[in-house]
Structure 1
């Protein structure tokens, strides 16, 4: 990524120290008025930036920015591309997939139009999440993709556990929880035929640090990885997660979801709870959650009979 002037400013102040407007203007070769406009731009995107007379500008907390060189050195097969801002990493890959190789990774500091399930907007704090997408290709048709979003969630949870995080769980079909609140979401989009090559774009948004300005816009309980005041290195996190996803995809390609079913059920946050499964505003069923089957379908016990479901949105009854 070739940094523009405003992003160069952010790189200068990312360490959380104070820098005078004059020194920043000299370093970037712009006017102090332009520096002030850059500061306002990032403040509008949710970054907490102090302005103190006689001291200059400082981020309230140090910021871990994405480093394309470090990512490429550790993930050569994925050829990471890093953008400061995109509408959506998934949308970018879907648009450019014909020119890209299997395994291509795209990351962005900020998404202006990130999407969750059912077309919902996915709130993205500037440099406060790990927003990435990966392009995968499967040769065995759409049917071979069943359970892939669950496999992705499992890879993320197990990878985070390897880094020392605890209280992690999975909500069917594609949410990652920590201590009972949503930490990350997965969105998979695909193109292809039932009996030929399928192109899949896997998008992930994982909360690292959620600023107060964005927190007020989130309509559900959320979790974040940074809670002890120590700035998390998002490059190291990205490398660990992408390596884990690479390994998981190869296992999924060879064995399908059936080989992962038991591991996924171990993390199921709603297992053995009474839940509702909503299909639309007017249609839902309720029952006892019994995990997932070998295809990744949700199992619900309804009036003593076990049923499997491929779609729907799960919630605890009463919520």
Structure 2
């Protein structure tokens, strides 16, 4: 019931909704409506109550509350359940603990991560209330070798959401980073569990630096945030909603059509590496190459200095710009 009332307030945000109207619509007493409103206020929602007019949603808490995200989502699967935390070690780690028991599309989101992780075991800084730290649990009926395509879908969705909400010129650094002005603003970590011919579940972890105003000295040349680039704070909830809605569109297109065509159109259009010289890092080895294409599987085709062409598999390499991060 509380979720229905919250959705009503969001749908008519800025307008008064009478207790009598809500009581009649949902078949409960006005006292029950009043109690639900008080509970919402305790959760951080600012609701104005005026005699003879009713209730009006003024603004919400800055905290990413699963319920407030869910009521605004226009999706069928992604975000059907959202579990939110104030602090957690890692949303990906928790997602793996519960993945077998929850529905496909469940989202884990936290205000803070104390043990956030990136690709190849790197740590990921996740300060409280300054970013989007979330994981999506997926259970697709696809071959395990196709699982890493979820990273491509997530990258396209995140880049699209940042551009749509902020107007900033975000680009995709293959395979899993979003960059603005050559600096990293988002990282994506996809993890999979399953058997030789069957996926049990996939976890897509997404970390976005939203309102981080200052980075440690060692990261300032390679990392940035939306607030730094835009010059004003960005509403995290709006980014989450746009990202999840876009993710479902691209995911369902992939499932129904069997190709990454729509995701790749975004990736190619906003690629940070296509047509550029890069450094390829394979363990202790470093190679220089030119990126000549992103193929239909989302793999990077490069031309090495000796003229040979090669396809890069994302799990085996990292790439950098010819001089700096990108």
TM-score, L = length of structure 2: 0.73
Give yes or no for contact 1:88–1:115 (8 Å, CA) kept in 2.
yes
The yes-or-no answer on 1:263 pairing with 2:266 is yes
In structure 2, the residue matched to 1:81 is: 83
Is the 1:146–1:295 Cα contact (8 Å) retained in structure 2?
no
* Conservation of the 8 A alpha-carbon contact between 2:160 and 2:243: no
In 2: Cα distance, 1:175 partner to 1:278 partner: 16
Question: How do 1:90-105 and structure 2 match up within 5 A?
Answer: 90-105=92-107
The 5 A counterparts of 1:176-215 are 176-212=178-214, 214-215=215-216
Note if contact 2:87-2:114 (Cα within 8 Å) is conserved in structure 1.
Answer: yes
Task: Give, in angstroms, the shift of residue 146 of structure 1.
Answer: 4.1
Q: Work out whether residues 100 and 200 of structure 2, in 8 Å CA contact, stay in contact via their aligned partners in 1.
A: no
Whether the 8 Å contact between 2:67 and 2:82 is mirrored in structure 1 is: no
From the superposition, tell whether residues 73 and 318 of structure 1 become closer, same or farther in structure 2 (CA, over 3 Å): closer
Cα distance, 1:246–1:197 mapped onto 2, change above 3 Å: same
Structure 1 runs, 4 residues or longer, greater than 6 Å off: none
CA RMSD of aligned residues (A): 2.5
2:310 corresponds in structure 1 to 307
> Counterparts of 2:63 and 2:218 in 1: how far apart (Å)?
23
Separation (CA, whole Å) in 1 of partners of 2:287 and 2:231: 43
Matched, 1:273 2:276: yes
Query: 1:69-100 CA distances to partner (integer Å, 9 max, x unpaired)?
Result: 31131248421111000100000000111111
| Alignment correspondent of 2:53 | none
5+ residue gaps, structure 1, are 1-10, 16-61
Query: Residue 226 of structure 2 aligns with which residue?
Result: 225
Q: CA deviation at 1:155?
A: 1.3
Which of 127, 131, 134 is equivalent to 1:129? Answer: 131
Matched, 1:67 2:72: no
Moved more, 186-195 or 256-265: 256-265
- Contact 1:300 1:306 survives alignment (8 Å): yes
Rounded Cα–Cα distance in structure 2 between residues aligned with 1:284 and 1:217: 22
Q: 1:17-96 alignment to 2 at 5 Å?
A: 64-75=62-73, 77=77, 78=79, 79-96=81-98
More deviation in 144-153 or 109-118? 144-153
Whole-Å separation in 1 of the counterparts to 2:289 and 2:231? 41
Count, aligned residues? 261
Distance, in Å, in 2 between the alignment partners of 1:316 and 1:233 is: 31
